[in-house]
Structure 1
Amino acid sequence: MPLLFTIAWYLLVGAAFLILGIPLIIITSGVILVRCAGAYLKASGQALGVRRPDASVPVPEPRDVPAHVHYLSGPAGRDLQQVALLTAQETKRQADLTRSWLKREFFQFSMSSYRKAVGVLVTVGTVGGAAISGLVMIFVALGALLVWGLLFVLGKSLLYLLRGVDSALSHLRGIKLTCPSCHHRVVYPAYDCPNPECTHRHEDVRPGRYGLLRRTCACGYRMPTLLVLGSHRMTAYCPHCHAAMASGAGTAREIVMPMLGATSAGKTRMMLALAETLLPRATPADVPTGNALAEMREALQVRGATRKTIAEDAVRAYSFNLTANRVRRLVHIYDPPGEDFSDSARLQARRFLRGAHAFVLVIDPFAIPDVWNSLDPATQQRYRAIRSAQPPSYIFEQVLDNLTGMGVRTADKALAVAVTKSDLTAGLPIGDGIDDDVRGWLRDRVGMANMVRSIEKSFGEVRYFHTTAVFDPGATDPNVHELLGWTLRRYGVN
């Protein structure tokens, strides 16, 4: 009987223990789960600098590139690492506190067995809650990594999509970029930060590691990353020579038009006449162009002559933003020194010849042997100082040989042949008939038949013009208007 009573007693105590213990274990597990969740949230806040800025991940100072890395390209990964580290530290701290509390409240030597039994239940609940919390945190960490990975992949996809759209739009519109100073083809220009208090220059602001739609400069200014988003409004620079590029570069098709001709043939005056013809519908695309035109106008009005183009000077394009009938073009006119055309090495170095769309061959009629020999000695003496040294046939062959050597398909190019100095040849017997048929005059009257045949065999489109060397800002030679109009119409400008 006592044995049965003892067994019944222990069964009753065990049942009560289980009935009370299971809820206690569940409650304890819930408390531990909540505390672990609190540890994670606290660590996240610290990592992001919400509560303890000193615990947040420091933002690296920009070094080689003066811009902040896009969040998904670096900071996000560092933040995840910091959250994991701080969560582990906070969880360890909570575990130490819980262990000390259990020992203090339930497992002192002098405590009763009932209290220790409750401590066992609480400990079981604590271990269970910790295990559940650990699994939950593993899933949270994996979820965070998955979300970050998906965002990273989406960001990269958007990056290449934006670049592709920007490049495709430029390609469809036939837009290319040429540096007016070093004449390199520019894939994408460098830009100065628009912040007037900042001096940073960004070599490539396209979507990438430093931003998708906007790039944040080291100074904090947010810059557009694509031409379609407005990057063309910033000051652009050539990444090769670091010279300023023409305003509007990258927003309109370019027309590259070099002047060809010997020294004293009249290339500079022809360039100025073309510029004056453009200006009612165009504006200088950069400061150097505006300054150079002003200097040449002043020189012509004061001295009657422009400054000689120095062979050693760098050849910078005269650039214009042209708008006509809702069509925009960026026109680059190059005026290389005449010495280039008697030196193949110098010609080969002129990169703008490779990218030219149309050429203007400027012919000095006094350099044609038949014309010069027809003049009496007094007339020869009068014009000797302004006569080109090399005959036009030699200049053309030099140009053609070098263009062929550069791999330029001249059959795809247009050539305007301009016989200049019409004001000086007017009244000379040898000049009879030139205004009616410039081509026929060159071919049949002055012995340039071989050159005419070579020109028409080599170039896809050719037209001949007779122009004057007189500069009058208010009345440009109509033939110059015709020459420019013929050239521009080929590229969609009417």
Structure 2
Amino acid sequence: MFYLLFLLVWYALVGTVFIVLGLPLVIVASGVFLVLCTGAYLRASGQALGMRLPGETVPVPQPPGVPAYVHYLSGPAGRDLRQVARLTWRDMRRQAETTRTWLKSRFFHYGMNNYRRAVGVLLAAGVVAGAVITALVMTFVALGALLVWGLLFVLAKALLYLLRGLDLGLSQLRGIKLTCPACHHRVVYPAYDCPNPLCSHRHKDVRPGRYGLLRRTCWCGYRMPTLLLLGSHRMTAWCPHCEAPMAEGAGTAREIVIPMLGATTAGKTRMMLALAATMTGGERSGISATTADEPTGNALAQMQEALAARGDTGKTIAEDAVRAYSFNLGGGRVRRLVHIYDPPGEDFGDSARLQARRFLRGAHAFVFVVDPFAIPDVWNSLNPQAQREYRAIRSSQPPSYIFEQVLENLNGMGVRTADKSLAVAVTKSDLTSDLPICAGLGDGNDAVRGWLSDRVGMANMVRSIEKSFGDVRYFHTTARFTPAGTDQNVHDLLKWTLGRYGVN
């Protein structure tokens, strides 16, 4: 009985000493394993987030067809988190295997005494406790990282839509819309060439999104602005629909779309050229403008050369695509981007061709060029010799027919003509001033209107014009160029047409 009591006390004492002395050993072993695993996590984070060792690089796939790097929060961040988790798990398993091998060789090898086995048990218990603690710590770290990434992702998305909305809202408040001068589509946002002169990549939509918030990084490494507010308009812009060049500064000023209306040989092209010369000359009209794109500058230069060489700008080919002649108006209190369209006269005799001209739907004002020689009363008043002389420059259809065709098709397109202005330009005043039927025809609005309505039998056309359009004015003009410049009435026509849209 005494022996059993002695053994009980002895083992209790030994167990107490074992626990008292072994507990710190367990804690130390647990702490060491936690530190080792924490080190593995930090190394994995360094390798995944940029401080990588050879052979540990993480491939970042490029988006197909988009020559830009994905924004960090829209893809790379998730891949980095997964890579951190993968590398951490791999290193922790490696560390656990190393620790197990070390414990087995040092404390559990065959033939070792009970003392070393006891120490091994304590160390193993510490390692197990450390593994449990590490698992809990790493779980909270992973959840924290996911939470931070999620918050940043939500904030980035909110900022993305805020920036887009701000850019769109300011454009709407300023009445700015983008129209392709070539295919006439409304453009939500242009495509832009990378500003790096050594790069040839084109970016179709640089607005804040998956590929950047304030800046987009091209494959070449160049950082591009994503908003008009940040200067994207200074890059070379292209239409995303037809890939034609957009006007310089598109998206920074309100557009004014002005189609020229009139029959073949009515003088639309000459009138357009006179309006262009008036805008870019600017001394007498007070309007200062520059060509807004290279195609406009080249086309005007070619027409000027043809006019100087043979006295004619050449006929607008019916099969040609109609590209706008674009001008940037500045120098005053307002800036505007003016698009003047000069469709071929054949369009106005073919409803299908006219319906295909999208720019008519977005027009703000129209210039209706009236050839006086196409008015039956004027033509019939000429003697046979004058008719032979003017037959080559006479329009094939009367202006009343052309106007009815235009009006019918505009109504069919859903264009509210009552909200539009129409400048009626009776042209070739330099050729008709000496004709008896034009005697007394002055330059003022009332004089021209009265002549059309009361003298040459165009009363029905005049009534239809004034009933259909909200604002109408009549001009007696010539597109002839003189050393003094263009005709003063062309200046007046231009100022009246643009004045309704804030240009003065």
TM normalised by structure 1 equals 0.98
Residue number in structure 2 paired with 1:450: 460
Instruction: Note if contact 2:479-2:490 (Cα within 8 Å) is conserved in structure 1.
Output: no
Offset of residue 8 of structure 1 = 3.4
Is residue 371 of structure 2 the alignment partner of residue 361 of structure 1?
no
> Which amino acid counterpart does residue 400 of structure 2 have in structure 1?
S
Residue number in structure 2 paired with 1:61: 62
In the TM superposition, what are the counterparts of 1:326-475 in structure 2 within 5 Å?
Answer: 326-435=333-442, 436=444, 437-472=447-482, 474-475=484-485
Offset of residue 52 of structure 1 = 1.4
What secondary structure sits across from 1:50 in the alignment? coil
In the TM superposition, what are the counterparts of 1:13-412 in structure 2 within 5 Å?
Answer: 13-279=14-280, 280=282, 281-412=288-419
Distance 1:17 1:285, change over 3 A: same
In 1: Cα distance, 2:167 partner to 2:135 partner: 47
Q: Which runs of 5+ in 2 are unaligned?
A: 283-287
In 1: Cα distance, 2:22 partner to 2:482 partner: 108
Residue number in structure 1 paired with 2:285: none
Residue number in structure 2 paired with 1:481: 491
In 2: Cα distance, 1:129 partner to 1:51 partner: 27
Q: Which runs of 5+ in 1 are unaligned?
A: none
What secondary structure sits across from 2:55 in the alignment? helix
What secondary structure sits across from 2:94 in the alignment? helix
What secondary structure sits across from 2:221 in the alignment? coil
Offset of residue 157 of structure 1 = 1.1
In 2: Cα distance, 1:305 partner to 1:42 partner: 78
Offset of residue 56 of structure 1 = 2.6
In 1: Cα distance, 2:43 partner to 2:277 partner: 71
What secondary structure sits across from 1:415 in the alignment? strand
> Which amino acid counterpart does residue 86 of structure 2 have in structure 1?
L
Offset of residue 3 of structure 1 = 4.3
Distance 1:354 1:473, change over 3 A: farther
Offset of residue 473 of structure 1 = 6.1
1:293-352 deviations in Å (ceiling 9; x for gaps) = 111222222211111111111111110000142310000011111111111111111111
1:7-60 deviations in Å (ceiling 9; x for gaps) = 333333222212211111111111111011011111112223413142232111
What secondary structure sits across from 2:229 in the alignment? helix
1:418-462 deviations in Å (ceiling 9; x for gaps) = 000001111211112321510011000110000000000000100
What secondary structure sits across from 1:255 in the alignment? strand
> Which amino acid counterpart does residue 226 of structure 1 have in structure 2?
L
Instruction: Note if contact 1:62-1:218 (Cα within 8 Å) is conserved in structure 2.
Output: no
Offset of residue 109 of structure 1 = 2.4
1:346-376 deviations in Å (ceiling 9; x for gaps) = 1111111110000000000010011111111
Q: Comparing 87-96 with 8-17, which one deviates more in the overlay?
A: 8-17
In 1: Cα distance, 2:361 partner to 2:54 partner: 57
In 2: Cα distance, 1:440 partner to 1:162 partner: 55
Instruction: Note if contact 1:48-1:57 (Cα within 8 Å) is conserved in structure 2.
Output: no
What secondary structure sits across from 1:242 in the alignment? coil
Offset of residue 395 of structure 1 = 0.4
Instruction: Note if contact 2:62-2:70 (Cα within 8 Å) is conserved in structure 1.
Output: no
In 1: Cα distance, 2:458 partner to 2:496 partner: 23
Residue number in structure 1 paired with 2:501: 491
Instruction: Note if contact 2:68-2:217 (Cα within 8 Å) is conserved in structure 1.
Output: yes
Tell me the number of residue pairs that the alignment of Structure 1 and Structure 2 aligns.
494
Instruction: Note if contact 1:252-1:328 (Cα within 8 Å) is conserved in structure 2.
Output: yes
Instruction: Note if contact 2:181-2:339 (Cα within 8 Å) is conserved in structure 1.
Output: yes
Give the aligned CA root-mean-square deviation in angstroms: 1.3
In 1: Cα distance, 2:156 partner to 2:482 partner: 58
User: In percent, how many aligned pairs have the same letter?
Assistant: 76
Instruction: Note if contact 2:418-2:470 (Cα within 8 Å) is conserved in structure 1.
Output: yes
> Which amino acid counterpart does residue 130 of structure 2 have in structure 1?
G
Offset of residue 205 of structure 1 = 1.0
What secondary structure sits across from 2:503 in the alignment? coil
In 1: Cα distance, 2:327 partner to 2:102 partner: 81
In 1: Cα distance, 2:44 partner to 2:57 partner: 10
> Which amino acid counterpart does residue 160 of structure 2 have in structure 1?
L
What secondary structure sits across from 1:194 in the alignment? coil
1:74-99 deviations in Å (ceiling 9; x for gaps) = 11111111111111110110000110
